[in-house]
Amino acid sequence: FQSCYSLKHIFLPSTLNYIGGGCFSSCYSLNNISIPDTVTSLESSTFSSCFGLSNIQLSRNITSFGTDCFRGCYSLRSIMCPKKLKTVGANCFYECYSLQSVIFEDEIASIGSSVFYNALNLKLIQIKNPSPPALSSDLPYNYLKALRILIPAGSKTDYVSASYWVNVADRLIEV
């Protein structure tokens, strides 16, 4: 489906268990999609440059988002990551200009470099894991003045002592 510029909607069957890298890349008009629970990962660039994608229903069984997975999804406003998500590849939400909130459940273990670069409207990241996920680089704290990062109560000391998290210590809010 790559570069199917006018594709707006697609039905994915419940028997689908794999979506290849770049599968929906540059489907500019795709505005919503539901990923069946049989899919366990989203590969590199799966939805990159899907400018109109504003709503995505994710499989509950996804464990990883590949590099550039949602890069350039200009209309994506929020994302509730699946409970089983463990890794987020580099540049995953790069240039997601409308993205305002991302919620990571308690199994998130690794967040790649430049994941939120140029996500200029990002206001909230919630991480439910009391152990800080490994970061490959700084979060974009310098130009996202309104960014708040919600973490579990009692975990701030662990977060601040982990690599790169110290740079956003003033944005960490225990809940």
DSSP letter for each residue of 1-65: -TT-TT-------TT-----TTTTTT-TT--EEE--TT--EE-TTTTTT-TT--EEE--TT--EE
| Predicted local confidence at residue 100, as pLDDT | 96
| Residue of 141 and 36 predicted with greater confidence | 36
Beta carbons within 8 Å of 51's beta carbon, 6+ residues apart: 28, 72, 73, 74, 75
Rounded to the nearest integer, the mean pLDDT of the chain is 94
Structural contact between residues 127 and 105, judged by C-beta atoms closer than 8 angstroms: no
Residue 142: band (very low, low, confident or very high) from pLDDT cuts 50, 70, 90: low
47 pLDDT more than 80: yes
Mean pLDDT of 18-45: 96
| Predicted local confidence at residue 141, as pLDDT | 67
| Predicted local confidence at residue 167, as pLDDT | 85
145 pLDDT more than 90: no
Rg (CA), the chain: 16
13 pLDDT more than 70: yes
Model pTM score: 0.93
